[in-house]
Amino acid sequence: MWFEITVEDLRMRSVQEQGVIWDYYKPRHTHAWNMLVLSWRELDQIADTADEMARGFEVEYHWENFIIRLWLYRTTVRTLRKLSPVESATDHAVAKFDNTFQINGHNGLKALRDMIEHFDDYAAGVGRGPATREGDLDPFRHFTKVVYQRGQFSLERTTAYKAAIQLREDVTDLSKRFIDWFHANK
């Protein structure tokens, strides 16, 4: 059966498709945020400096989890780039978040995340990022519940969490903007 597709039909599919993206995004956003908060709490529950030293491996594990969760939250938020009414505003919000982690012109959060997630590539000397096998992959690391330093890269926990909270506030505004657009165009 042949039928003509109108511009209106194409527009509605676009609106409907964006609605589908939103339907997948919203629960994933909640999940990513909750996991980030849980990883923050694990670090926050470490009692004091003596406790940090006694629990060194555990503190490092919690930091790595927090770093991965920060990056996962950022990645989840970037899903909003697929929604045309908030695409450029999403880029702005993510850029503002990323700016918090700039170290020597590089995104330190991404560099740390890459070393954790792509250890095999960095160990083989083919890591793709500002981190180097010789200088950053397995250097002396300094970490407490407050700060994580590995090679040339470091994160301060409260600053990182505040940046995530600000990104979440920005995303709340973007979400409202998308929902309003969606209802006006469906």
Q: With bands split at pLDDT 50, 70 and 90, how would you rate the model's confidence at 10?
A: very low
- Residue 21 burial (CB count, 10 A): 15
Q: Compute the distance between CA of residue 90 and CA of residue 30 in angstroms, rounded to an integer.
A: 17
Compute the distance between CA of residue 151 and CA of residue 7 in angstroms, rounded to an integer. Answer: 55
Residue range 138-171, pLDDT digits in tens:
766 788 889 998 888 899 999 999 999 999 999 9
Structure tokens at 159: 């600053």
- State residue 144's pLDDT score: 85
- For the question of whether the overall pTM of this predicted structure is more than 0.95, the answer is no
